[in-house]
């Protein structure tokens, strides 16, 4: 089961990378559990924890408006989580946030439920743009 969860988390990471680069978050949104939680550390419109697909969809709509970041295609490191379906990757993002240039070290943490849906996403940012 953990191998399948890791595959789902890796697909979610790729969907996140695509969404951050292009503004098209539909693939990631389609992977989310109905009761997903998404926690972001910065951004006036998306900071905090969002609960459920509707709030997550709104968060990603705002991200599509304000964010254009190319994340490393190959994360600098992959970190295993708790062994029960949580996985994290460290990446570096280059692009713009709110129209300002950004070089952003990021850690993305995905938790995958037993039914293969993304149950939680947490983003940690080393030096958030201001």
- 2-32 confidence digits (pLDDT tens): 788 989 999 999 999 888 888 899 999 999 9
CATH number for region 2-125: 3.10.450.50
Contact 98, 66 (CB under 8 A): yes
Residue ranges of alpha helices (H) inside the chain are 2-22, 26-31, 52-66
Query: What's the pTM?
Result: 0.84
- 88-127 confidence digits (pLDDT tens): 888 887 877 777 787 778 889 999 999 999 999 998 887 6
The structural domains of the chain, with segments of one domain joined by +, span: 2-125
């Amino acid at each position: 089961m953990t191998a399948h969860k890791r595959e789902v988390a890796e697909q979610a990471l790729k969907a996140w990378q695509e969404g951050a680069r292009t503004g098209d978050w539909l693939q990631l949104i389609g992977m989310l559990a109905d009761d997903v939680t998404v926690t972001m550390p910065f951004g006036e419109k998306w900071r905090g924890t969002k609960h459920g697909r509707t709030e997550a969809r709104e968060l990603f709509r705002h991200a599509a408006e304000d964010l254009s970041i190319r994340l490393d295609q190959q994360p600098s490191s992959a970190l295993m989580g708790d062994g029960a379906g949580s996985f994290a990757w460290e990446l570096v993002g280059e692009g713009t946030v709110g129209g300002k240039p950004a070089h952003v070290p990021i850690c993305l943490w995905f938790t995958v439920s037993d039914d293969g849906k993304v149950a939680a996403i947490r983003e940690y940012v080393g030096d958030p743009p201001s």
